[in-house]
Amino acid sequence: MKQEEIVTQIKNNLIEIMPELEGENIDLEDRLVDIGANSIDRGELIALTLENLELEVSRIEFVSAQSINDLAEMMFTHYNLQKV
C-alpha cells in the first residue's frame, strides 16, 4: 500500500465522521483541529483508519499527528512494519 492510498482512506474517514467537510478542499498540511476536528473526532478518525488498514497499533502512538499528512506518514510506517 502506498502512502497516497492511506491519505485517501484518512480523507474518506474524515468526511464520514464530519460530513460537513464533503466538497471542501482539505489540504494535507491543514491541522486537524483547524478544520474542526475535536479530540473525539480525531480519536474516531484514527480508530476507524486503523481498523480499515487492519493495523494493531495503540492510538496513543498518533498523539503527535497534527495534520492528515502527519497521520498518513505515521500509519504508513506502522503499515510497513506490520505487513512486511
User: How many domains is the chain partitioned into structurally?
Assistant: 1
The grid coordinates listed for 35 are 478544520
What the block records as the C-alpha cell of 41 is 473526532
Rounded (10°) angle between helices 39-53 and 68-82 = 30
pTM of the model: 0.92
Task: Give the CATH number, domain containing residue 14.
Answer: 1.10.1200.10
- B/e letters for 48-71, b = 16+ CB within 10 Å, e = fewer, are bbbeebeeebeeeebeebebbbbb
Range of the domain at 67: 3-82
Q: Model confidence over 20-38: pLDDT tens digits?
A: 999 999 999 999 999 999 9
Q: Write out pLDDT tens, residues 30-65.
A: 999 999 999 999 999 999 999 999 999 999 999 999
